[in-house]
A = this chain, B = another copy of it.
């Protein structure tokens, strides 16, 4: 690759998304219609506190939606990715792919 061939990569990633655990949450939710807290905690192997904190940040940014439902008398918290969340995740992987291909 010569230096005049290539457009410079975009390193300005969304730091909210770039955090690995939050990338994991968004990736899991991208493949599901919705997922409850328990499922996310098991699949991601995160502590309750850690997962709650990441979910709050993603919700505050509008990248996920969190709804509380009752199953019989039991409360369940359901999470789903929003269109903005999907777009942010897709853009992030595009940025990572562009960086990854710099060496090719």
Contacts and interface: CB of A to CB of B under 8 A. Distances in A.
Interface of A: 1, 3-4, 6, 8-9, 11-13, 18, 20-21, 23-24, 26-32, 38-39, 42-46, 93, 95-96, 99-104
Nearest first, the 7 closest Cβ-Cβ pairs linking A and B are: A8-B45, A31-B103, A30-B103, A3-B42, A11-B20, A27-B102, A27-B103
A93 B102 contact: no
A101 B13 CA distance: 20
A28 to B, nearest CB: 5
Nearest to A102: B27
A39 B29 CA distance: 40
Contacts of A4: 42
